[in-house]
Amino acid sequence: MTFAEFQKHIRTSQKDFYRETLANHRDVIRVKKEGKVLVNLEKIFGATLKLSNQKGFAAMSMRDLSRETGLSMGALYSYFNSKDEILSMLQEQQRAFTKKFLEEAIEGEQAPRKKLGAAVRAHLYLSEVMQAWFYFSYMEAKNLPDAEKSSAVKSERFTERLFTDILESGRECGEFHQVDCRLTASCLKAMLQDWYLKRGKYASRGVTVERYAQFLLEMIESFVGRQSYENSG
Amino acid sequence: MTFAEFQKHIRTSQKDFYRETLANHRDVIRVKKEGKVLVNLEKIFGATLKLSNQKGFAAMSMRDLSRETGLSMGALYSYFNSKDEILSMLQEQQRAFTKKFLEEAIEGEQAPRKKLGAAVRAHLYLSEVMQAWFYFSYMEAKNLPDAEKSSAVKSERFTERLFTDILESGRECGEFHQVDCRLTASCLKAMLQDWYLKRGKYASRGVTVERYAQFLLEMIESFVGRQSYENSG
DNA sequence: GTCTATATACGGATAGAC
DNA sequence: GTCTATCCGTATATAGAC
């Protein structure tokens, strides 16, 4: 899947996730009309990501958020009970998103090499479209309440496990070299994360997401692969 | 240099940097006796790192800091003029530290392969000893005032440039393959950063800093090298 | 030099009008 | 549903005693 295809695919699903967020928090959201809620949730989430990524969630005041969204303090508080709840809602959406698209991306593929390519591309494309979200999630993870924090760690481990499994299956069927799969997956993940953590750097250097994907796959391939990598893209 | 050697080396230099911090801020530090200042600066910096890394610098209150250091609010404010100034002082020290030890580590080496090994090890060892500091610097970078932020970016670029230069010199003398050196250096840096950003993960898996260094060098070597990597100690 | 006590401002959250 | 006005806790920073 190319980035353009992926982008189109994801834009259409985005509304569904806001609907799900609404469903999960129907008890605290006091506004009745669904259309209204979806529009305002998107405003609130967008503004939260923007402001938090500039100066951190803790430093963002509710008055800042009010100004940025154009909603009054009172109006804001009819969508959640506390500032921290915004954090939880955002995290919840992000986790669902990531899980869905990563699993979807690899489910068609059988060969480890192809699976790896699909998973790496899916992760990069996803974090490209949702950059603000991924950045936020990474930077604010330690500020989450305990319950949320353990969910976040679980989600991290899920992603890493996914890559480890692909590498291990490749090793077992002889397609890949004998390497430490878990450590390799861990390093791969670090490089995937760098894409959304330092996006400004890559943008200013004119590195596209597809170029970065290709580069990562070449590097991993040179390390684990028995033959040169072919672009499955 | 092994990690044990490095650790010993660095501990002895640490005091010098507190002395330098004092010298740079003599005008705002109202306490006269040098010994007193050095002890308390270390307390303040240590506590700031501990508390900030738990819940973020913005969420750390001066009362928290007072409790943690055992100094009263009034006493604290005789070492700086504002909370933000603690941030600046920490950043300043960290930058000086990193620059010194990275340059020192590679200055003896000539061959690109050896230089790379020395630089990678130095960076990992440094971030191992100063983990709290590196973590803090990464996480709080965006909260710095503008002047400090540009210094931080400059320092980041310096480090990356150092690795890029090593890779390029290796390519020029035919020791390394034709690869995109800047992108390779960027990815290498991402993996180096992961070591201090996810230290808990690596600790719980029993990965030592020397093992991680060796692993990174093997991976980079398989990508850029024409021959297998030899452990340079 | 360090303490306690306090000035002053800003934060999150809510009540009640419209 | 959304607004304005306000409560009240907590934050940073400082004054002044010892």
Question: Which of A187, A180, A173 minimizes the C-alpha distance to A226?
Answer: A173
Contact A59, A140 (CB under 8 A): no
B86 CA to D13 C1' distance (Å): 14
- DSSP annotation of A176: B
Question: Which of B98, B175, B111, B172 minimizes the C-alpha distance to B137?
Answer: B98
pLDDT at position B47: 96
A46 CA to D2 C1' distance (Å): 20
Please state, rounded to an integer, the average pLDDT across all residues of chain B. Answer: 93
Question: Which of A116, A104, A100, A204 minimizes the C-alpha distance to A164?
Answer: A116
| Distance of alpha carbon B162 from alpha carbon B119, whole angstroms | 9
Which residues is A176 bridged to in the sheet?
A225
Q: Which 3 state secondary structure label does DSSP give A152?
A: helix
Give the model confidence (pLDDT) of B192-223 as tens digits.
999 999 999 999 999 999 999 999 999 999 99
Q: Which carries the bigger pLDDT value, residue B103 or residue B186?
A: B186
| Distance of alpha carbon B36 from alpha carbon B147, whole angstroms | 30
pLDDT at position B217: 98
pLDDT at position A71: 96
B46 CA to C1 C1' distance (Å): 21
Q: What is the dihedral of CA B94, B96, B101, B106, to 10 degrees?
A: 130
Give the distance from residue A180's alpha carbon to the nearest chain B alpha carbon, in angstroms.
Answer: 9
Residues of A in contact with B143 (CB under 8 A): 55-56, 59
- Nearest by CB to A143, which of B59, B189, B193? B59
Quick check: B187 and A194 CB within 8 A?
yes
Measured between CA atoms, the residue of chain A closest to residue B226 is A222
| Nucleotide closest to A76 measured between CA and C1' | D2
pLDDT(A230) > 80: no
Question: Which of B29, B32, B181, B20 minimizes the C-alpha distance to B94?
Answer: B20
The residue lying closest to nucleotide C11, measuring its CA against C1', is A61
- DSSP annotation of B2: -
Structure tokens that stand for B157 in this block:
């670029």
Determine the residue among B181, B195, B219 to mutate to test chain A binding: the one whose Cβ has the most chain A Cβ atoms within 10 Å. B219
| Distance of alpha carbon B161 from alpha carbon B183, whole angstroms | 11
Give the model confidence (pLDDT) of B31-87 as tens digits.
999 999 999 999 999 999 999 999 999 999 999 999 999 999 999 999 999 999 999
Give the model confidence (pLDDT) of A13-34 as tens digits.
888 999 999 999 999 999 999 9
Quick check: B180 and A216 CB within 8 A?
no
Give the model confidence (pLDDT) of A43-68 as tens digits.
999 999 999 999 999 999 999 999 99
Structure tokens that stand for B188 in this block:
């290498």
Question: DSSP alpha helices (H): ranges in A108-180?
Answer: 112-129, 131-140, 146-172
Q: Which 3 state secondary structure label does DSSP give A141?
A: helix
| Distance of alpha carbon B130 from alpha carbon B121, whole angstroms | 14
Give the distance from residue A97's alpha carbon to the nearest chain B alpha carbon, in angstroms.
Answer: 23
| Nucleotide closest to A75 measured between CA and C1' | D2
Q: Which 3 state secondary structure label does DSSP give A175?
A: coil
Residues of B in contact with A198 (CB under 8 A): 186, 190
pLDDT(A229) > 60: no
B32 CA to D16 C1' distance (Å): 20
Q: Which carries the bigger pLDDT value, residue A12 or residue A36?
A: A36
B75 CA to D17 C1' distance (Å): 14
- Full-model pTM: 0.94
- The ranges assigned to domains in chain A are 3-224
CATH architecture of A3-224: Orthogonal Bundle (1.10)
pLDDT(B229) > 50: no
Quick check: A187 and B54 CB within 8 A?
no
Structure tokens that stand for B180 in this block:
């995109």
- DSSP annotation of A227: S
pLDDT at position B121: 97
CA torsion through residues A102, A103, A105, A111, sign: positive
pLDDT at position A227: 58
Residues of B in contact with A218 (CB under 8 A): 223
Share of chain A residues as helix, strand and coil, in percent rounded to the nearest 5: 75, 0, 25
| Distance of alpha carbon A47 from alpha carbon A57, whole angstroms | 11
Q: Which carries the bigger pLDDT value, residue A233 or residue B88?
A: B88
| Distance of alpha carbon A210 from alpha carbon B137, whole angstroms | 30
Give the model confidence (pLDDT) of B8-23 as tens digits.
988 888 888 999 999 9
| Nucleotide closest to A40 measured between CA and C1' | D1
Quick check: B187 and A142 CB within 8 A?
no
Q: What is the dihedral of CA B86, B89, B92, B95, to 10 degrees?
A: -60
